[in-house]
Amino acid sequence: MNVDTAAAVAERFEELYGAEPEGVWAAPGRVNLIGEHTDYNDGFVMPFALPHTAVAAVSRRTDGVLRLHSQDVESGVVELRVDDLEPESDRDWTAYPSGVVWALRQAGHAITGADIHLASTVPAGAGLSSSAALEVVVALALNDLYDLGQKGWQLARLCQRAENVYVGAPVGIMDQTASACCEPGHALFLDTRDLSQKQIPFDLAAEGMRLLVVDTRVKHSHSEGEYGKRRAGCEKGAALLGVDALRDIAYDDLAAALDRLGDEEEVRRLVRHVVTEDQRVERVVALLESGETRAIGPVLTEGHASLRDDFRISCPELDLVVDTALASGALGARMTGGGFGGSAIVLAEAADVETVTKAVEEAFATAGFTAPRVFEAVPAAGARRVS
Ligand code: GAF
């Protein structure tokens, strides 16, 4: 996000609403390095922010009117009243910003209206948290303008509530926290139980490596049933095992826990994924902290196998990225995000990036899949005011 983008968004705001905005804010999408489907099990995750952001130009209003406009959707200015906002009343893109206004008001914050113009460079439906970026940018703007004094993690909780209750998507807390709290040059080691955080330096270029994001162009959505089914299955597993959340099953007790689940085969697979995935996050953190960065590759790849075979949320395109990348020399690869499409990540030596990229592109062409979008990801900044 550069100064020109902020200026362009402010200019468009002025054209739409007839006055300069009070400010402009940006919030990023994310990739998740490791820790998938652990967040709604109170477990560990490790995302980092992308340079792609949702940008919002915003001004307050005092008359209870909420006006929303997006550069990325052809819907003109949508006008709502803050008093009329109702959960699940809106299935459009506007549900994300208006859900945040609803959640803030529900939490007792006196939001009396706003004019908002949004523009985003986070690819939608690519598993890179375009929705969370929209939510967080609006939450941060209103937090600043209305002087609400909420910290990043508190805004993340409000945004998650907006998405769970207002939008109706049963997501965890990872994406909103990543967008609100990530720092440049770092991955965020987050304990989703209490939102305690540790910024882990993650500078692959300094060590001669790269992380590629491969957007398969297979679109996914969390409001559809499969994500919710996995979540419900995990909650059933926790209930059958008598714990608050699967996070409470220690890795060393996994075999015994799986035995206790008897013939609940589906639940056993979900539990195995979550418990081993939490341990993979801890292994990745330990490896990064001891400077053994290359050794995280196989751990990422193990994570993919677990999501594919136990959690069953991969798809042929994601598997093809992973298999092809590994066969052409990558250090590790896995799907990232909610699954059923979206993006994969590939860890590779800088010298192998071209070979790996070409191999993936050729494999997609041979399989008759839509050409993937491949780009390099370097940890960028979390949500901030830009003007
Ligand atoms: C999606 C959700 F929004 C996150 O909360 C998380 O569960 C993720 O899928 C899977 O790790 O991005």
CB of 174 within 6 A of ligand 1: the answer is yes
Q: Is 297 marked within a binding site?
A: no
**Residues 213 and 162 grouped into a single domain:** no
**Residues 169 and 318 grouped into a single domain:** no
What is the Å distance from ligand 1's center to 14 Cα? Answer: 35
d(Cα 57, Cα 12) in Å, to the nearest integer? 9
Residues 6+ apart with CB under 8 A from 87: 102, 165, 166, 168
d(Cα 360, Cα 344) in Å, to the nearest integer? 11
The enclosing domain of 28 has a CATH number of: 3.30.230.10
Q: Does ipTM exceed 0.90? A: yes
Q: Is 59 marked within a binding site?
A: no
Q: Is 68 marked within a binding site?
A: no
- Find the mean pLDDT for residues 179-198: 98
The residue segments making up the domain with residue 154 are 3-202+380-385
Q: Contact, 161 vs 108, CB < 8 A?
A: no
Q: So what's the pLDDT on residue 91?
A: 81
Sign of CA dihedral 126, 139, 80, 77: negative
How does strand 196-201 pair with strand 186-191?
A: antiparallel
CB of 43 within 6 A of ligand 1: the answer is no
**Residues 331 and 318 grouped into a single domain:** yes
- Find the mean pLDDT for residues 368-376: 98
Protein residue with least CA distance to atom 1, ligand 1: 338
Reported as a single tens digit per residue, the pLDDT across 57-99 is 999 999 999 999 999 998 899 999 999 999 988 889 999 999 9
**Residues 193 and 294 grouped into a single domain:** no
Q: Contact, 246 vs 381, CB < 8 A?
A: no
Q: If you compute the radius of gyration of the chain from its CA atoms, what whole number of angstroms results?
A: 21
**Residues 223 and 212 grouped into a single domain:** yes
Tell which atom from ligand 1 comes closest to the C-alpha of 45. Answer: 11
Place of tokens 């490791």: 34
Number of domains in the chain: 2
**Residues 70 and 210 grouped into a single domain:** no
Reported as a single tens digit per residue, the pLDDT across 122-167 is 999 999 999 999 999 999 999 999 999 999 999 999 999 999 999 9
**Residues 138 and 148 grouped into a single domain:** yes
For residue 115, indicate whether it is catalytic: no
Measuring CA to CA, which residue among 102, 85, 40, 54 is closest to residue 270?
40
Q: Is the pLDDT of residue 5 over 50?
A: yes
Q: So what's the pLDDT on residue 3?
A: 63
**Residues 157 and 209 grouped into a single domain:** no
pTM metric for this prediction = 0.98
Tell which atom from ligand 1 comes closest to the C-alpha of 169. Answer: 3
**Could you report how far apart the first and last alpha carbons of the chain are, in Å?**
12
**Residues 235 and 90 grouped into a single domain:** no
Q: So what's the pLDDT on residue 2?
A: 66
**Residues 168 and 218 grouped into a single domain:** no
Q: Contact, 180 vs 155, CB < 8 A?
A: yes
The enclosing domain of 267 has a CATH number of: 3.30.70.890
What is the Å distance from ligand 1's center to 337 Cα? Answer: 6
Percent of the chain with pLDDT over 90: 96
Catalytic hit among 42, 90, 115, 175: 175
Q: Is 324 marked within a binding site?
A: no
Tell which atom from ligand 1 comes closest to the C-alpha of 32. Answer: 11
**Residues 208 and 66 grouped into a single domain:** no
Q: So what's the pLDDT on residue 324?
A: 99
Arithmetic mean of pLDDT over the chain: 97
**Residues 316 and 194 grouped into a single domain:** no
Q: Is the pLDDT of residue 224 over 70?
A: no
